[in-house]
Amino acid sequence: MSLITTLARLEAVDTGRAQPLATVRHRHLTDRPLVLVPLTTAGEAGAPLGALVGTDRDAPRLLIVPQPRDRDLRFAFLAELADIVLPYIDDHAQDVGTAERNETDPETGKRVKVEVELCADAPQLIVPSRAGIDLVRLLGRSMRFRRTAEQDPETPHPAPPRVPLLGRWLTHYGERARVPGSSLLTALTDVLSRHWATGQSTLEDQHLGALLAWIDPPEGGSGAEAALRAELLRDARGQLVCPPAGPSTDPAFDNKLLAPAIERYDRARTALAAAEDGVEADDRLGELTAAERHIRDLVASRTRPTWDAVWHGLDLLRALPEGPRAADRWTRDRWSFTGHRDRVLAGEPPQPRRDDAVTAANKLATREREQARLEAQEALDDPLVMAGRRLAGEAFAGEVTDVVMAYSEGKRPSPRPLVTVRTDDRPQLGDRVRVYRSLGGKPQTAEFVGYEEGDAAGSPPARTSPGPEGAPDPAGSPGLPCPGGALVVLRVLDKMGRGKEPEPGSVPEKGDLLCYTLFEHEQRGGAKLPDPEDTPWTHGGPPGETDAAPRPDAVTDEDVL
């Protein structure tokens, strides 16, 4: 946790209200996101109990599995989910524009521009908390290898037609959610805690109700107290007033309400199966329907508060203006969506169970690059985030006090002006460290030359600090300045045009207020890895045939204990 986040959290504890960590919204929100509030059954991994899902905050669709251990009912639930999610995806998949992309021409080997399709917008899936993302991933994994009767007439338990396709999409969304800065699949608690610091731990921030209580407490109240109520307050029946955002449910709900309701449903089903004539069956069907409706009501009562909380959270986020570079990241999300759409259309098999060596390395490289990009872009978009970087010594802001023209040595001297910046920040500058500033949206590079001997107001840091007998510096970094600030001398290296004289506006001028960062603004692409079929011997050679339908694990001694 950075120092500025720690300060914000301390302030939140002090004031009882969440403190802003950002002045703009760093994640793109589409106009029509699909919100999914899932619940699972205790005791069985990934067994859905129900879900509220939809794009209209006033009209969510409620799906339930009245007996979660019944695989047929589970398939019916997934089929219903597919009927809601897939049309939503298709809407976006069909609305395409064109874009240009650099590709290597297979004949000439040259890089050429190719016109390709890019979906105008991408479907955005919002879940309440991080555990929801894990469930999406798990559902994806459990569905994408299923076979439908159409694909394989022999399959013993055929899946409903669109379920495997939903599995592939959910898998894609689950993987994309691992890319820093992406927002195809977003956990609301993650986005909210990116923008506000509460006075509770990051673990507690995963409780959506408590998090919202900190950020937007009821009129005049304390966020801390409201958060405590959201976590603990129970009604007369011993049920949580603010149910957990799931997908896990509260044990008190499971034991006192859900278990009896499912038992009633099971009894009604058994009775219906045992009915001997039509009249009796009609009666018993009525009881079964009533039992199912009871479970529906129960699931609705646990998901609806979370549903409303999610939309409330989205409102809070929409109140912030979107950061300029968030759109750039959303374009990458659109590329990711379009790419997967194309793979599905091309009839490619589902994503393999495990990544091969090259895919894994490519994914890791992408994510590291996106992480660095995200950190740089957030700082450039948002002065509050930049303040955190400045506090950490990774950036500094100040006023230009002097500009001296200088030239590089060599046959064709190029301009290398020396710029002096007075700053109160304490950047971790070392000999010839590169620094960057944004010049018309593009980074301009400069290198650190040294600290200038100060005038009356400022002195070089090395000379002003307390000696060994002096009191320890209260701010934590002994030996650094100083009232009046340090004078940092930089040599500007690029973006000044090709001529001997720098282009107008490309060199800072005296009096300019500038912010230099020690981190790069743009990320270089890494080296291209070999194709999977060229995987070298150090990494086990090329992967074998991808088995679309994985074999079950071999039976071991432990299985038959």
Partner 1 sequence: MTTVFDPGAEAARATGAILRDTLHGAHRGVVVDSPPGAGKSTLVVRAALELADAGRPLMVIAQTNAQVDDLVLRLAERNPELPVGRLHSSDSDPYDKALDDLPHVRKSAKAGDLAGLDVVISTAAKWAHVKGVEPWRHAIVDEAYQMRSDALLAVAGLFERALFVGDPGQLDPFAIVGAEQWAGLSYDPSASAVTTLLAHNPELPQHRLPVSWRLPASAAPLVSDAFYPFTPFRSGTGHGDRRLTFGVASDGSGPDRVIDEAAESGWGLLELPPRHTPRTDPEAIRALALVVRRLLDRDGAAASERAPGATPLTADRIAVGTAHRDQAAAVRAALAALGVPDVTVDTANRLQGREFDVTVVLHPLSGRPDATAFHLETGRLCVLASRHRHACIVVCRAGVAGLLDDHPSTEPVQLGVTVKFPDGWEANHAVLSHLSEHRVPWTP
Q: What is the dihedral of CA 267, 270, 274, 279, to 10 degrees?
A: 60
Residue with Cβ nearer partner 1 (489 or 529): 529
433 sits near partner 1 (criterion: CB under 8 A)? no
d(CA 492, CA 443): 11
Cis-peptide, bond into residue 247, ω within 30° of zero = yes
Q: Binder to partner 1 among 67, 248, 465, 546 (CB under 8 A)?
A: 465
**Residue 70 CA: distances (Å) to CA of 48, 67, 139, 251:** 11, 6, 16, 21
Tell me how far, at minimum, the Cβ of 475 lies from partner 1, in Å. 8
The site map against partner 1 for 152-191 (x = CB under 8 A) is: --------------------------x-x-----------
Pairing of strands 111-119, 96-104: antiparallel
Pairing of strands 19-20, 34-40: unpaired
C-alpha closest to that of 64 among 293, 268, 284, 252: 293
Q: 530 — phi, psi (to 5°)?
A: -65, 160
528 sits near partner 1 (criterion: CB under 8 A)? yes
Tell me how far, at minimum, the Cβ of 453 lies from partner 1, in Å. 14
361 sits near partner 1 (criterion: CB under 8 A)? yes
Tell me how far, at minimum, the Cβ of 284 lies from partner 1, in Å. 48
550 sits near partner 1 (criterion: CB under 8 A)? no
**Residue 147 CA: distances (Å) to CA of 47, 154, 308:** 19, 10, 36
Q: What is the DSSP letter of 532?
A: G
SS3 content of the chain, % helix, strand, coil (to 5): 40, 15, 40
502 sits in the region (left: phi over 0; alpha: psi -120 to 50; else beta) called beta
16 sits near partner 1 (criterion: CB under 8 A)? no
Q: Kind and range of the H or E element at 99?
A: strand 96-104
364 sits near partner 1 (criterion: CB under 8 A)? yes
Contacts of residue 4, Cβ cutoff 8 Å, sequence gap at least 6: 387, 388, 391, 392
483 sits near partner 1 (criterion: CB under 8 A)? no
| Residue 168, number of CB atoms within 10 A of its CB | 20
d(CA 291, CA 263): 9
Residue with Cβ nearer partner 1 (205 or 250): 205
Residue with Cβ nearer partner 1 (58 or 553): 553
10 sits near partner 1 (criterion: CB under 8 A)? no
539 sits near partner 1 (criterion: CB under 8 A)? yes
472 sits near partner 1 (criterion: CB under 8 A)? yes
Tell me how far, at minimum, the Cβ of 113 lies from partner 1, in Å. 21
The site map against partner 1 for 389-428 (x = CB under 8 A) is: ---xx----------------------------------x
HSE-CB at 521 with a 13 A cutoff on CA atoms is: 20
544 sits near partner 1 (criterion: CB under 8 A)? no
Q: 209 — phi, psi (to 5°)?
A: -60, -45
Tell me how far, at minimum, the Cβ of 534 lies from partner 1, in Å. 6
Q: Binder to partner 1 among 526, 547, 548, 550 (CB under 8 A)?
A: 526
Tell me how far, at minimum, the Cβ of 486 lies from partner 1, in Å. 11
Q: Binder to partner 1 among 218, 221, 540, 550 (CB under 8 A)?
A: 540
Tell me how far, at minimum, the Cβ of 134 lies from partner 1, in Å. 11
Residue with Cβ nearer partner 1 (346 or 471): 471
13 sits near partner 1 (criterion: CB under 8 A)? no
Tell me how far, at minimum, the Cβ of 135 lies from partner 1, in Å. 16
Tell me how far, at minimum, the Cβ of 371 lies from partner 1, in Å. 5
Tell me how far, at minimum, the Cβ of 347 lies from partner 1, in Å. 26
Using the rule CB under 8 A, give the single segment among 282-290, 379-387, 527-535, 551-559 that binds partner 1: 527-535
Q: Binder to partner 1 among 372, 384, 403, 449 (CB under 8 A)?
A: 372
Residue with Cβ nearer partner 1 (271 or 372): 372
527 sits near partner 1 (criterion: CB under 8 A)? yes
Residue type, 501: E
Tell me how far, at minimum, the Cβ of 416 lies from partner 1, in Å. 11
Place of tokens 């091969």: 356
476 sits near partner 1 (criterion: CB under 8 A)? yes
Q: Are 12 and 4 a contacting pair, CB within 8 Å?
A: no
461 sits near partner 1 (criterion: CB under 8 A)? yes
Q: Which of residues 247-266 bind partner 1 (CB under 8 A)?
A: none
The site map against partner 1 for 340-359 (x = CB under 8 A) is: --------------xxxxx-
203 sits near partner 1 (criterion: CB under 8 A)? no
Coil, strand, or helix at residue 125?
A: strand
For residues 86-106, one letter each, b for 16 or more C-beta atoms within 10 angstroms of the residue's C-beta and e for the rest, the string is: bebbeebbeeeeeeeeeeeee
d(CA 496, CA 319): 39
Q: Are 526 and 518 a contacting pair, CB within 8 Å?
A: no
C-alpha closest to that of 461 among 478, 483, 433, 486: 486
| Residue 476 structure tokens | 């934590």
Tell me how far, at minimum, the Cβ of 473 lies from partner 1, in Å. 5
d(CA 432, CA 197): 36
Q: Which residues pair with 118 in a beta bridge?
A: 97
Q: Binder to partner 1 among 537, 545, 554, 561 (CB under 8 A)?
A: 537
The site for partner 1 (CB under 8 A) is made up of: 3, 178, 180, 354-358, 360-361, 363-365, 367-368, 371-372, 392-393, 428, 430, 461-462, 465-468, 472-474, 476-480, 493, 526-530, 534-541
